Amino acid sequence: MQLENLTSFIGTEVKSIDLREPVSDDDFAVLRDALNQRSVLLFRGQSIDESQHVAFSRRFGPLLGHVLTQFLKKEHPEVYVLSNVSENGKPIGNHKEGWNWHSDLSYKAEPSMGALLYALEVPPVEGDTFFASMHAAYEALADDMKARIRHMTATHSYANYYGKAFADRNPLTPEQLAATPNVVHPLVRTHPETGRLSLYVGEDVVKQIDGLPAEESTALLAELNAHAISPEFSYRHKWLAGDLLVWDNRCTMHRATPYDDNVYRRVMHRATPYDDNVYRRVMHRTTPYDDNVYRRVMHRTTVAGDRPF
């Protein structure tokens, strides 16, 4: 296994590894560490089937499904399909998914840890995916902006995203709406493994920054989104069939780009690990002492956590 960085801030290509074979614990520890440091891992030239894709993805955490259950593979419901292809008059995957900047499943109370997207068929031109480092974006903010937003929260809304991205489709059913209530997340989150801070924003799925007048919220969100997607923090991936990309949704955003969907087919399979490291549990206890003889007086202040991250 060899590792080669793709850009200065984000992305590492992993070479000489065949993901049809189980990855040893030692190699997996190297991959996990590389993902924590570099946020995106690229494996080219793979030929994995669905169960191998699922097995490798599970190493990163338990896998999440999707509210649009029609796009989950029947035999492997951990696999979510993105595609413009229809079979027997039915789309086999969600087309135009993620054509704006987002972090996957940020609309859930406990969002994804990352995603593993495998390219089965890709157009020869366009249909690329951009990734941006939200660590780099946060760290490049001016100090007064860092201080201003450090403890702010934002409301993430799947309904808001769906309404904008898929305005031409049937609206979400009452069941789908009930399964995707709006959620509140910190605007600046802490990476649960490295402790590094990052910006947690997004287009469309992030409906508002909480506690601000609507205009101010819209303006601040636009400013942060524009900053977050600066080319200097990003990597543009040109897909080849057989590419598997793994990304860390705790500290990146990404977006797909359009392509000539009348001419070309694009078929992508995604598995989406859940962040089972959301809460870090630390316990403590006090030991007894001779309380007939000694006095013990302690004062405590209690800092609100910005977790669940």
Binding residues (CB under 6 A) for ligand OGA: these are 82, 97-98, 104, 115, 117, 129, 254, 256, 268, 270
Return the number of the residue (104 or 204) whose C-beta is nearest Mn ion.
Answer: 104
State the DSSP string of 218-241. Answer: HHHHHHHHHHHT-GGGEEEE---T
Residue from 6, 38, 4 nearest 236 by CA: 6
Nearest approach in angstroms of CB 137 to Mn ion is 17
Selected from 104, 243, 248, 275, the binder of Mn ion by CB under 5 A is 104
Provide, rounded to whole angstroms, the least separation between the CB of residue 5 and Mn ion.
23
Q: Which among 184, 162, 203 is positioned nearest to 68, based on CA atoms?
A: 162
Nearest to 116 by CA among 23, 1, 9: 23
Which region, judged by CB under 5 A, interacts with Mn ion, from 38-46, 49-57, 90-98, 162-170?
A: 90-98
Please name the residues in contact with 10: beta carbons below 8 A apart, sequence gap of 6 or more: 38, 39, 40, 131, 132, 133, 136, 233, 234, 235, 252
Among ligand OGA, Mn ion, none, residue 208 binds (CB under 5-8 Å by kind): none
Site size for Mn ion (CB under 5 A): 2
Q: Applying CB under 5 A, which part among 8-16, 80-88, 91-99, 288-296 lies near Mn ion?
A: 91-99
Do the bridges between strand 40-43 and strand 244-248 make them parallel or antiparallel, or are there none, so unpaired? antiparallel
Least distance in Å: CB of 24 to ligand OGA?
A: 27
Residue given tokens 């009348």 in the structure block: 262
∠ CA 251-189-232, nearest 5°, is: 40
Q: Which does 201 bind (CB under 5 to 8 A by kind): Mn ion, ligand OGA, none?
A: none
Indicate which of Mn ion, ligand OGA, none lies near residue 206 (CB less than 5 to 8 Å, by partner kind).
none
Q: Which is nearer to ligand OGA, 64 or 220 (CB)?
A: 64
| Partner touching 256 among ligand OGA, Mn ion, none, CB below 5 to 8 Å by kind | ligand OGA
Residue nearer to ligand OGA on the CB measure, 102 or 153: 102
Question: What does the alpha-carbon distance between residue 309 and residue 161 come to, in Å, rounded to a whole number?
Answer: 22
Report the partner that residue 129 touches, choosing among Mn ion, ligand OGA, none (CB closer than 5 to 8 A by kind). Answer: ligand OGA
* Residue 150 zone, left/alpha/beta (φ > 0; ψ -120 to 50; rest): alpha
The nearest distance, CB 117 to ligand OGA, in angstroms, is 5
- Closest approach of Mn ion to the CB of residue 207, in Å: 18
Q: Which residue is nearest to Mn ion (CB)?
A: 98
Which value, in Å, is the radius of gyration of the alpha carbons in the chain? 21
State the first-to-last Cα distance of the chain, in angstroms, to the nearest integer.
31
Closest residue by Cα to residue 228 from 144, 130, 147 = 130
Q: What is the token pair recorded at 200?
A: 């947690």
Helix and strand numbers (H, E) in the chain are 7, 17
Tell the smallest beta-carbon distance from residue 66 to Mn ion (Å): 11
* Contact of residue 154 among Mn ion, ligand OGA, none (CB under 5-8 Å per partner type): none
Query: Least separation, in Å, of the C-beta of 203 and ligand OGA?
Result: 12
Among 98, 127, 186, 202, binds Mn ion (CB under 5 A): 98
Binding-site ranges for Mn ion (CB under 5 A): 98, 104
